[in-house]
Chain A
C-alpha cells in the first residue's frame, strides 16, 4: 500500500470514526462509511491540510470512493 493511502486512511478513520479495515479502495464514503455531507466537507478540509492542497468544489463533488481520493492526491503530488 502507498504512503498516501496510509495517510488518507488515518484521516478517514479519525474523521468518520470507522475501523481501519473498513477503509478499502472501493469503499464509498456515503454508502459504506456512513459519511453525511458535513463529514465530506470536513474530510476535504482535513485532506487539504494534510497534503497542502486546494481541492476545488468541482473536484470534491466527483470524489465518492476512497480510491478516487488516493488517485486524486497522487496525481497532484
Chain B
C-alpha cells in the first residue's frame, strides 16, 4: 500500500471531511492520529471504523488553537507511533454574520481555530519532518477563501490566510522534500453545512456545474493523492474540489 509505514495526523477527524480523510489515508496504509476537540465518542467511532478495517488509529484530544495542547498531542503521537509524516490541517469552525453584527469573539474564534490552529500544528511537526527530510502538509482551505462570501468575512479571511501560509511554507520547506498544499472544498455535505437554509442551498446548487453537492470522500481522495509519493513534485498549490463552482 502506498502510505504503508507512514503516520498521519488529521485534525478535526471525529466527524465530516476529517473523518473521511482519516479513513482514506488509513485505507492507503498510513497509521492515523484522529484529533478532535470535544466529541470523544465521535473520534472513537472514526478510530473504530479504521481498526475494524485492519488499520491503526489513535484518538487524541487537543484544541488546535492552543499551542500547549497541540505540542502535548504531537508528543503523544510520536510516543505511540515513533514518527509523523503527514499533517492534514482540517479542523475548522464557522461563526457567520454580516460584518456590522460580527462580534470580536466570532472573529477571534474562527481565526484561532482555522488559521492559528494550522500554524500551531505545522510548527509542532517541524522537528520530525525536517529530521526525516520528508513530509506532507495539507491544509483544508475553502473556495470561500478564493471568492469571498457575504456573511463569512472571518471564515474567508482565515481560509485565504491558509493559502498564503501554504505557499510560504512550501517555499521554506521544499529543499527538505516536504510538500505543502491546500485543498479548497466547495459545498460538501457535513454537519457544517447541514444547518444552512434550504433557500441558500438551492441558490448555491444553481452555481455548481456538476449539479450536486460534494461528499466528504471526494475531498479525502484529493488529500490522499497529495499525501502520496506520486504527488512529490506538487507543492504550494491549491486544489479546488467544488464540482466546478469556481473556475
- Write the residues of chain A forming the contact surface with B, with a CB cutoff of 8 angstroms: 36, 38, 42, 45
Contacts and interface: CB of A to CB of B under 8 A. Distances in A.
A36 to B, nearest CB: 7
A38 B127 contact: no
B49 interface: no
B176 interface: yes
B175 interface: yes
Nearest to B133: A42
B172 interface: yes
B130 interface: yes
A45 B175 contact: no
B175 A42 contact: no
Contacts, number: 9
Contacts of A42: 130
B172 to A, nearest CB: 7
A42 B128 CA distance: 11
Interface in B111-134: 127, 130
A43 B175 CA distance: 15
Contacts of B127: 45
B35 to A, nearest CB: 24
B125 to A, nearest CB: 13
B175 A36 contact: yes
A35 to B, nearest CB: 12
9 contacts: A36-B175, A38-B130, A38-B172, A38-B173, A38-B175, A38-B176, A42-B130, A45-B127, A45-B130
A45 B127 CA distance: 8
Nearest to A48: B127
The 5 closest A-B pairs by CB, nearest first: A42-B130, A45-B127, A38-B175, A38-B172, A38-B176
Contacts of A45: 127, 130
Contacts of B130: 38, 42, 45
Nearest to B172: A38
A45 B176 CA distance: 15
A61 to B, nearest CB: 18
A35 B120 CA distance: 27
